[in-house]
Amino acid sequence: MPRYLVVLSRGVAAIALFAMMVLTFVDVIGRYAFNAPVFGVAEMIQFLLAISIFAAMSLASANRGHITVDVLEPALDRVARRPRRLFVRALSILTFALIAAQLGELAYEAWRTDRTTIVLDWPLAGILCACALLALVAFVVELSGYREPDAADGPPEDA
């Protein structure tokens, strides 16, 4: 199951980034060539950026691509490699769960109060729900321990 979720996340992130690129291109051409920019493009790009970030979270987990600091890692690997990896994984699982839960709560509140965006007057619940679902995908991928076969660290560890 996580493999399909990672493929889905990759597709969502790619579509969101492509849409951002097209919107920016059309807006720039419209603004400078025809003096007619796309109305609300900044708000649309903000939504697409949020979607691409939350879609990429599961990809970063599956590829072990999160930011790390290697200052203490060589010393820690000699002493406590497995406990450190277990701690980092548990912390990642907890973090993704909290992000998904908070976004779900925000989405419900936005739906209940019928909150909309400032410029385009679009409902906020949709974007918040999409981000919550993508955070939930990252949680499931991290919880399952799924790793992409070509991950930089080699084969997946037992933890």
Residue 130 — very low, low, confident or very high, per pLDDT cuts 50/70/90?
A: very high
The pTM of this model reads: 0.82
Q: What is the pLDDT of residue 148?
A: 65
Q: What is the pLDDT of residue 21?
A: 98
Q: What is the pLDDT of residue 1?
A: 54
Q: What is the DSSP letter of 157?
A: P
Q: What is the pLDDT of residue 155?
A: 46
CA distance 7 to 15: 12
List pLDDT tens digits, range 51-81. Answer: 999 999 988 888 877 777 777 777 777 777 7
For residue 91, pLDDT over 80 is answered with yes
CA separation (Å) from 139 to 54, 78, 101? 11, 29, 11
